[in-house]
């Protein structure tokens, strides 16, 4: 097994070959980032296997020679990686951040597992300033000057956070599409599905679901409920009717009978963790854990196929996404339609439920603000008039101030969305910072929304008055300056990839708030420390709300 060349080189020469082979392997990984099993297997298994016989010429035990070949190969690769990522030659070397973040994105993957990514990013900004290195090739920015360059019309494409979500040959979702031109093409049907004409069709569904919610609260008057869960049930029931013309029946049955809510939660947690190391999706598909995701895909496919087989009775979202009007030159394929259905389910799930739950939380903490909101609802819909007029709701100052404020404090995508500076572009100026090509950047939404340079006073406090005209605001503390920078307010993201369902989400929030505030009040469950509720918020790309246990009380009993 031992060749003459290996004998002639001696042990030191053979080890030099191992060092060179590992360096070449490192350079291939750095330059091309291969993640497919054949190439990865060749680089990490075949190469050290081929080097082992050369070491065996100088080491009597073949087993020991194999062990040394593999160990040296891997250790040296890690040494090269570590040295470069911490060196002054790295393109992001001048930006501050924890050493563990500079070394690997595994840190952020673990933080995502805990659900505390949003507070971790914010603490990094408090410690290091407006720009911080959150990964080997990633930066987080807490500056309004970076919003337009990163997210605007001439901004950056989506980063590797969205890479490798589905198997080869399966179309990306419209949200995960990283090519700006393909995203613009795919977005057309979505824009029609959430245009002014389409939303008018959804208003009736919002009213129907709000009435169902009131019926369930009426049945439970005097009893304890979890407001977080019920806001989620409303959100899912509305989404299923609006998107597919079916009813998940979560409000009527009082539980997730379809399993879709649990499946969405599992998918969000898994992808939030894996998105920091997206190459690992390739290998997860080989193991049963990926069945967590497949369960959701199968459910969505079932609803989509049923909807397509039955056709549309109204112009629901699928009417537009399947292009039943025939406005597109090429009909969307079934795989594309299924991927769009997945976005409808995930995007329409708790994106509304979270801020609604947050609104009740803040109002329960401050009864005077709740009373002010009740008075406004009673004025705009006097004598118990059913709140059907969405135009009237859109013009209610304090209602919309409350909604704006809860979206500031608890935006549905609380940590923002990663963008990438394309390799070969020469880099990009992002506000006052230069981001070298091949690196990623994100505007951290929570840090931006609570930055006292953009929102003052009370950047961490629920203060709806900041959104009101000056004449209607509470008097400011004498030592405070009023600041409201609308450019720093991005609860639905910004630019061409912003949340397409923004207007429907606002419609839902206004309607549910008016309906519930008009008829009901809530009392915090005895023994529950409501002041700790916000600590239970989980960031799994979309926000996951903890339980909010309250007792339902009808307002007429209290008047």
Provide the pLDDT for residue 246: 87
Cβ contact 464:398 at 8 Å: yes
Band the pLDDT of 15: cuts 50, 70, 90: confident
Please indicate, yes or no, if residue 97 is contained in any of the structural domains: no
Shared domain for 62 and 190, answered yes or no, is no
Provide the pLDDT for residue 59: 79
Band the pLDDT of 70: cuts 50, 70, 90: very high
Structural domain span for residue 36: 4-86
Q: Which of 86, 121, 153 is the last residue of a domain?
A: 86
Shared domain for 376 and 509, answered yes or no, is yes
Q: Which of 47, 66, 86 is the last residue of a domain?
A: 86
Q: Can you tell me which residue has the tokens 């309004």?
A: 144
Please indicate, yes or no, if residue 123 is contained in any of the structural domains: no
- The CATH code of the domain that includes 333 is 1.10.630.10
Provide the pLDDT for residue 89: 96
Provide the pLDDT for residue 507: 97
Range name among 107-121, 261-275, 470-484, 538-552 with the lowest pLDDT average: 470-484
Please indicate, yes or no, if residue 64 is contained in any of the structural domains: yes
Provide the pLDDT for residue 557: 45
Which of 102, 100, 347, 355 lies closest to 227, judged by CA? 355
Q: Model pTM?
A: 0.93
Q: Is the pLDDT of residue 5 over 70?
A: no
Q: Record the tokens describing residue 203, joined without a space.
A: 């208003």
Cβ contact 370:257 at 8 Å: no
Q: Is the pLDDT of residue 558 over 50?
A: no
Q: Give the three-class secondary structure for 454.
A: coil
With a CB cutoff of 8 Å and minimum separation 6, the contacts of 481 are 456, 457
Q: Give the three-class secondary structure for 337.
A: helix
Range name among 6-15, 86-95, 274-283 with the lowest pLDDT average: 6-15
Shared domain for 500 and 386, answered yes or no, is yes
Provide the pLDDT for residue 329: 86
Shared domain for 75 and 198, answered yes or no, is no
Cβ contact 436:444 at 8 Å: no
Residue numbers belonging to the annotated binding site for heme: 499
Range name among 335-349, 404-418, 505-519, 524-538 with the lowest pLDDT average: 335-349
Which of 193, 495, 506, 181 lies closest to 343, judged by CA? 193
Between 523 and 480, whose confidence is greater?
A: 523
The mean pLDDT of 384-388, rounded to a whole number, is 93
With a CB cutoff of 8 Å and minimum separation 6, the contacts of 144 are 431, 448, 451, 453, 454, 485, 487, 488
Which of 193, 94, 109 lies closest to 500, judged by CA? 193
The mean pLDDT value of the chain amounts to 91
Q: Is the pLDDT of residue 2 over 50?
A: yes
Shared domain for 395 and 288, answered yes or no, is yes
Band the pLDDT of 9: cuts 50, 70, 90: low
Please indicate, yes or no, if residue 276 is contained in any of the structural domains: yes
The mean pLDDT of 452-481, rounded to a whole number, is 90
* Cα–Cα distance, 165 to 177 (Å, whole number): 10
* Cα–Cα distance, 499 to 407 (Å, whole number): 13
Q: At what angle do helices 47-56 and 62-86 cross, to 10 degrees?
A: 130
Percent of the chain residues past pLDDT 90, beyond the cut: 70
Beta bridge partners, 433, equal: 430
Shared domain for 52 and 193, answered yes or no, is no
Provide the pLDDT for residue 312: 76
The mean pLDDT of 329-348, rounded to a whole number, is 87
The mean pLDDT of 325-338, rounded to a whole number, is 87
The mean pLDDT of 125-149, rounded to a whole number, is 97
Q: Which of 86, 119, 135 is the last residue of a domain?
A: 86
Please indicate, yes or no, if residue 515 is contained in any of the structural domains: yes
Q: Can you tell me which residue has the tokens 């401050």?
A: 366
Q: Is the pLDDT of residue 149 over 70?
A: yes
Provide the pLDDT for residue 297: 84
Q: Is the pLDDT of residue 8 over 70?
A: no
Residue numbers belonging to the annotated binding site: 499
The mean pLDDT of 135-158, rounded to a whole number, is 96
* Cα–Cα distance, 160 to 175 (Å, whole number): 13
Provide the pLDDT for residue 337: 87
Band the pLDDT of 290: cuts 50, 70, 90: low
The mean pLDDT of 471-489, rounded to a whole number, is 88
Total number of domains constituting the chain: 2
* Cα–Cα distance, 126 to 121 (Å, whole number): 9
The mean pLDDT of 266-293, rounded to a whole number, is 83
Shared domain for 78 and 201, answered yes or no, is no
Percent of the chain residues past pLDDT 70, beyond the cut: 96
- Provide the phi-psi class of 97: left if phi over 0, else alpha when psi is between -120 and 50, else beta: left
Most confident of 289-298, 325-334, 364-373: 364-373
Beta bridge partners, 484, equal: 455
The mean pLDDT of 502-527, rounded to a whole number, is 96
Q: Is the pLDDT of residue 233 over 60?
A: yes
Shared domain for 472 and 365, answered yes or no, is yes
Please indicate, yes or no, if residue 9 is contained in any of the structural domains: yes
Shared domain for 194 and 80, answered yes or no, is no
Range name among 41-50, 146-155, 160-169, 208-217 with the lowest pLDDT average: 160-169
Range name among 166-175, 231-240, 488-497 with the lowest pLDDT average: 166-175
Please indicate, yes or no, if residue 155 is contained in any of the structural domains: no
Shared domain for 82 and 221, answered yes or no, is no
Please indicate, yes or no, if residue 358 is contained in any of the structural domains: yes
Check whether the bond before 555 is cis (ω within 30° of 0): no
- As a dihedral over the C-alpha atoms of residue 480, residue 485, residue 488, residue 489, rounded to 10 degrees, the angle is 100
Q: Is the pLDDT of residue 152 over 50?
A: yes
Q: Is the pLDDT of residue 342 over 70?
A: yes
């Amino acid at each position: 097994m031992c060749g003459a060349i290996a004998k002639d080189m001696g042990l030191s020469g053979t080890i030099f070959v191992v060092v060179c082979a590992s360096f070449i392997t490192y350079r291939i990984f750095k330059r091309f980032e291969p993640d497919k099993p054949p190439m990865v297997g060749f680089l990490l298994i075949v190469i050290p296997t081929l080097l082992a016989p050369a070491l065996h010429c100088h080491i009597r035990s073949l087993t020991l020679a194999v062990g040394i070949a593999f160990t040296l190969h891997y250790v040296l690769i890690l040494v090269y990686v570590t040295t470069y990522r911490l060196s002054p030659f790295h393109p992001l070397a001048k930006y501050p951040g924890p050493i563990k973040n500079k070394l690997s994105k595994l840190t952020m993957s673990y933080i995502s597992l805990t659900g505390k990514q949003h507070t971790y990013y914010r603490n990094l900004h408090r410690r290091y300033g407006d720009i911080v290195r959150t990964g080997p090739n990633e930066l987080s920015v807490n500056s309004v000057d970076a919003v337009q360059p990163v997210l605007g019309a001439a901004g950056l494409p989506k980063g590797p956070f969205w890479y490798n979500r589905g198997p080869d040959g399966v179309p990306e979702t419209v949200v995960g599409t990283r090519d700006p031109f393909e995203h613009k093409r795919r977005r057309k049907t979505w824009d029609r599905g959430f245009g002014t004409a389409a939303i008018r069709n959804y208003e009736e569904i919002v009213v129907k679901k709000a009435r169902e919610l009131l019926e369930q609260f009426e049945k439970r008057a005097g009893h304890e409920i979890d407001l977080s869960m019920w806001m989620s049930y409303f959100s899912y029931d509305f989404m299923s009717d609006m998107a597919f013309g079916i009813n998940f029946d979560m409000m009527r049955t009082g539980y997730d009978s379809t399993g879709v809510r649990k499946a969405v939660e599992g998918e969000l947690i898994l992808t939030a963790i894996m998105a920091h190391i997206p190459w690992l999706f390739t290998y997860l598909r080989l193991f049963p854990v990926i069945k967590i995701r497949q369960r959701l895909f199968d459910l969505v496919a079932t609803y989509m196929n049923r909807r397509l087989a039955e056709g549309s009775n109204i112009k629901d979202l699928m009417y537009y996404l399947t292009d039943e009007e025939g406005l597109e030159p090429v009909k969307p394929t079934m795989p594309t339609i299924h991927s769009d259905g997945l976005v409808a389910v995930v995007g329409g799930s708790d994106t509304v439920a979270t801020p609604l739950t947050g609104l009740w939380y803040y109002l329960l903490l401050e009864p005077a603000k709740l009373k002010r909101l009740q008075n406004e609802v009673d004025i705009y819909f006097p004598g118990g008039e059913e709140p059907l007029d969405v135009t009237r709701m859109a013009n209610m100052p304090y209602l919309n101030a409350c909604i704006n404020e809860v979206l500031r404090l608890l935006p549905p995508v609380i940590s923002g969305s990663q963008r990438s500076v394309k390799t070969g572009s020469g880099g990009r100026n992002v506000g006052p910072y230069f981001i070298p090509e091949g690196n990623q950047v994100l505007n951290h939404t929570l840090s931006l929304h609570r930055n006292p340079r953009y929102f003052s006073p009370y950047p961490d406090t629920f203060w709806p008055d900041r959104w009101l005209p000056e004449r209607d605001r509470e008097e400011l503390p004498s030592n405070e300056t009023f600041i409201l920078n609308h450019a720093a307010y991005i609860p639905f993201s910004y630019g061409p990839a912003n949340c397409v369902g923004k207007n429907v989400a606002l419609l839902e929030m206004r309607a549910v708030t008016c309906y519930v505030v008009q008829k009901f009040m809530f009392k915090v469950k005895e023994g529950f420390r409501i002041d700790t509720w916000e600590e239970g918020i989980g960031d799994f790309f979309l926000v996951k709300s903890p339980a909010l246990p309250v007792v339902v009380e009808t307002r007429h009993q209290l008047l």
